[in-house]
Structures are given as C-alpha cells and as structure tokens.
Amino acid sequence: MQTSDQPILRDIVLVGGGHSHVGVLRMFGMKPWPGVRLTLICTDIHTPYSGMLPGYIAGHYSYDDVHIDLGRLCAFAGARLFKDEVVGIDRTNQKVICKNRPPVAYDALSINIGSTPQVQLVPGALENAVPVKPIARFNQRWVSLLERVKTHAGKTTIAVVGGGAGGVELALAMQFRLRNELTAMGRNPDELEFHLFTADSDVLPTHNPGVRARFEKVLNERGVVLHRDAEVVQLDGHTLQTKQGERLHADEIMWVTQAGGAAWLANTDLELDSRGFINVGPTLQTTRDPKIFAAGDIANLTSTPLEKAGVFAVRMGKPLTKNLHLFVQGADLLEYRPQKTWLALISTGDKYAVASKGSLGFAGAWVWQWKDWIDRRFMAKFSEFPEMDPNAKPAGGSTPNLALTQEESLQAISAIAMRCGGCGAKVGSTVLSRALGNLKPVDREDVLVGLHAPDDAAIVKVPPGKAMVHTVDFFRAFVDDPYIFGKVAANHALGDVFAMGGEAQSATAVVTVPPGLESKVEELLFQMMSGAVEVLNEAGCALVGGHTGEGRELAWVLPSTDWSMKTSMA
C-alpha cells in the first residue's frame, strides 16, 4: 500500500497490462509526478511478454521467465491495481465501466489491451478453435491442449490457422515441445502431424523473400504441411474447410489470424477502423476524444499504419508516458514517429532463429542466443528494480505542476494546508452527500433515522426480547484498491458479530481519506463505501451513518455497530 504527502489532483487510468503500459508504470515508478495517481485495471495479475511466448511453448522458459508480475510492478510505481474486466467507457462522465466493481473515474485514460481474435466471423471457429490471443489468457488454453495431446491415443493432427510470424513460430514451437513430450513418454513422436494454413500465397507475407524462403525450408524439413491460398471459412466440428473447398479433420486447431478490437469498444463511440482497432493520431490520442489514449496492437496509427508487432508496443511506452504527463500539465504533446524498418527475431522452436529487417535476413543458433539475451534483459527491467531513496521527493518539487482550473487550484491549496495543519478536519458536506447519494443501503424497518434522512446521529430500534451486541474494528489500508478494502473491512466487522451469535442490524462508519481535490475525495469515498455496502447489504445490515475526516493515509473504522441477538444467547 503506497502513501504520499501530495494531495491527489489528477487520475490517470490505464486499461490493460500490455507492453506499452508496463513501460509507463516503470517510468512512473522511477520518476513519480506530484499530484498524479496512476491506476491499472487488468483482468490478469501476470502479463506475458509476447517475444518469449514461443520459447515458453517450446519448453525453453518457465512461466515466471516470460510473465511480468503486475502487482509487484504497480507496487514499485506506487500505482493502484484493480483486477477486473473493462466492459465500457462513460465518456460524458469520464468513467471506466467495469464488470464487477463501481465505475472508475479518470482525467486521462489509456488503453493497451492488445487484439482479440475475431473467431466469431468464421462459422464454427468459436466453438472448435483455440485462439492464441489475447495472450494474457493463453497459458491456461495451452496447458489444457498440452494435456489433451499427451493423453490422446494414436495419431494426433494439429492445425494452425495463420501464416504470419505468430502462426509459423507457434507451429514450430508446439511441434518441438510435443515431440519431446511424446519421446519422454516412450511414444513415437511421428504420431504428431502438423498443418499450417495461410490465406496468402506465402508464409510471413510482410517479410522479405529470403526470410520467407528460409521458413518454408524449415517447415518442409520438419514435415509441417503448408496450405497456401487456403483461407479457412468454416469449421464443421473439427473439420476445417477452406475457401477453395479443401477439407481437413484436425484433433486440435490453433487460431492465429483475423484479430481485431474488443467488442466493447464498439459502444464507446470512439472512432474505430474496419477491424475494430482504435484510431489514434500521432500523439497517441484517440481521434474523437483527446482525454483517451491508445497504444500497442489495439491502436491504429492513422498517420502511419503499423504492423501488429510487439516492437511497436514496447517502443510506444516512452512517448505514451511523456504525453500522459504533458496532458495532465496542459502542455503541448509530442508526436510519436515510429521507425520505418525494425528488427524481427523469429524462432524456429529449437533454439535457432532467423533475423529479419527490411531486405536483410540471416539465421543461426547465435541469433537465438542474441534474441534470448535481448528478451531476458527486457524482462529484467520489470523484476529487478533500482533501490529508491525513501526520503526523495517526487520530481517537480512539492507544488504539483498540473493544469488546474481556478477552483481546483484553490482546492489544491486548501488540501495542502489541511494536510499540514489539521488532519482531523471533516470532509466537506457536499462531497460527502454526493458520494453517499449513490449508495443504496438495505432498508430495515427497525432503522428509524439512517442515511435516508441523515442527521448527526442514527436511531435504531431494538426488537423486544433481544439484546444489543457492540463491536468496533479499525483498519489502515493494506491494499491499493479502495473498493476491495471496503469489502474486506466490512467482512471483518461482520465476522466479530457472527462469532458472538449475533444478527446484523446496523452499522456506522468512520473513514479517513487522504486530502485532494473534492472530486478525488468523493471518488475514493464512493469506491470504498460501495464495497462496504455490498457486503453489509448481503448480510441484511443497514449502513446508518458515520464520520469522515482527512488524514495522510486511507483508514476505516466500523464503530458503535449495533446488532440484534436473541436474549437467550446473551
């Protein structure tokens, strides 16, 4: 749990733990911005590095070797990590809509969620194919497939749909790993049969002829059957059918083609290209909303269309970081200028790789060792953090250099003065009213005065024949997610009552929140109280009131909590 002496003035929310965003997090940790809070919303705590994924499949790397621990990275960056799935954006109110938690407010938003396989466009593919993307969720699918192949008796036919670098690497890595697995089990590795389908006349169509020829030779030597001009248009069960009428039955089908944007983006009114990717300008801002940025595969750079390659996502991290910082400062943004050619190191499964850059191409075991060195050095940036001076002040001094309105500037000055002069000050009544106004505590007939008619004290009625149980719990924030913190704190308080054989009736709350702009304090209160009220409502316990104050760190007390219990149990 991170704390700061700076009041929160601006929120930057990152959606997705892609290669660009891990760069933002690391750079933010190296040089924090005063007054700015960073929040990452992601479905997975560990995000894979796509450059090492073929090596992981081939068995050269462990799971930890190829995955970045987002929890540890966020802790280094002083960023909040919210584990949830984003399903929409409320651009009018500047909130990210999540599947399982309250909406999350932002001043600037960045999207780096990669691409999504459009398997629904091909009849039968959704039910019968195993998509590689999103790669953050690929590991579970790969482990399941590996076990199915190992336990499958006799011949196993595996088809890979997609003849780009990703499809070719996957086919060769899978073949290498599975042959070794069968050999170790005492089985004949020739039981495996691999087929690679490409809609183009050649594999790796975006690379030079020499590189394509090298891989066609490797595929031929490894016995991988190459199907050219073979666009797969239907899967009838596990039978693939191409546009030309060719049919093949496969026991396993891997899908590495026809990627596009996530379905929920269509309802954001952001400008998308024909495949559902977000159109962005040279500053990486979306073309319809300057408050929203996008990077990596999900972004379509309208000024310079780019291939969906990890190298661009990695290199977008630095300009994205700079522009997010410039944006919250109200300064002019910088243009991202991608390189015209780039180096691609494409592995063949067996610790051998081919280098491709423009018209150049070369290969060898030494190229794989070179690639391995580059990849491991990249991953070390996210696991080996430099020692930071705990007494060092954030870059920019004690006064945040942010673009604030006159009213926000006055609030910021007040927040700083309050932090220095009186941490016990109450949160403003208007802020509190707005934050609590969106909560829906459970209704109980024995609550006579509660949040429905708030006053300085609540009034609850004790039913005849019952006694009152009082308990109090205090918590300093131990997680960065205020919603989860509220749920955990309420659960602990309920546990003390249940341990006494009590029945939940009503609860009051005392909350300490760090100072900041009114909107930031309001958002924090809403997130935390939403989590608590969800738990209390489920137990039939009404939140009837409480007290709020400002302090250096988030804290939560459930005091004077009233619970009813049968007298015979007292």
DSSP 454-509: --SS-EEPPPTTEEEEEEEEEEE--SS-HHHHHHHHHHHHHHHHHHTT-EEEEEEE
Residue 516 · residue 9 · CB < 8 Å: yes
The verdict on 275 and 201 lying in the same domain is no
253/163 same-domain check: yes
Bond into 134 cis (ω within 30): yes
Please enumerate in sequence order all residues whose Cβ is within 8 A of that of 122, keeping only pairs 6 or more positions apart, or say none. Answer: 232, 233, 234, 235, 258
What pLDDT score does 455 carry? 66
Domain identity same for 143 and 206: yes
Rounded Cα distance, 412 and 44, in Å? 35
pTM of the full structure:
0.87
Looking at the structure, tell me whether residues 561 and 451 fall in a common domain: yes
Inside any domain, residue 391: no
Q: What does the block give as tokens for 100?
A: 């399982």
Q: Does one domain contain both 17 and 95?
A: yes
In sign, the C-alpha dihedral spanning 264, 267, 269, 272 is positive
**pLDDT of the residue at 468:** 78
314 and 246 within one domain: no
Number of domains in the chain: 3
**Could you tell me the CATH number of the domain that includes residue 517?**
3.30.1330.10
CB-neighbour burial class of residue 217 (10 A; exposed 0-12, middle 13-18, buried 19+): exposed
**How far is the C-alpha of 167 from the C-alpha of 133, rounded, in Å?**
11
Residue position matching structure tokens 């979306």: 286
Residues 124 and 147 in one domain: yes
pLDDT at 408: 59
Residues 107 and 135 in one domain: no
Q: Please report the pLDDT score of residue 420 as a whole number.
A: 46
What CATH number is associated with residue 107?
Answer: 3.50.50.60
Last residue of a domain, one of 258, 281, 299: 258
Rounded-to-integer distance, Cα 477 and Cα 197, Å: 53
Domain that residue 373 falls in? 10-115+261-339+369-380
Let me know whether 242 and 274 are in one domain: no
Helix residue ranges, H only, 239-340: 310-329
Which of 328, 359, 380 corresponds to the end of one domain? 380
- Residue 16: inside a domain, yes or no? yes
Q: Do 429 and 559 have their domain in common?
A: yes
Q: Say if 395 falls within a structural domain.
A: no
CB-CB neighbours of 268 under 10 Å: 19
Residues 14 and 101 in one domain: yes
Question: What pLDDT was estimated at residue 421?
Answer: 44
The predicted pLDDT at position 14 comes to 98
Backbone angles phi, psi at 407, to 5 degrees: -65, -40
Start-to-end CA span in the chain (Å): 39
Please indicate, yes or no, whether residues 122 and 99 belong to a single structural domain of this protein: no
pLDDT by 10-residue block (mean), the chain, 570 residues: 70 96 95 93 92 95 95 94 96 96 96 88 91 79 90 93 94 96 95 96 93 96 96 94 95 89 94 95 97 96 86 94 95 92 92 93 95 96 77 54 66 54 54 68 80 74 77 77 88 82 81 81 87 89 79 61 44
Considering the domain boundaries, does residue 564 fall inside one?
yes
Tell whether 252 is covered by a domain.
yes
Please say which residue of 324, 352, 380 terminates a domain. 380
46 lies in a domain?
yes
Is 467 a member of any domain? yes
Residue 488 falls within a domain, yes or no? yes
d(CA 324, CA 322) in angstroms, rounded, equals 6
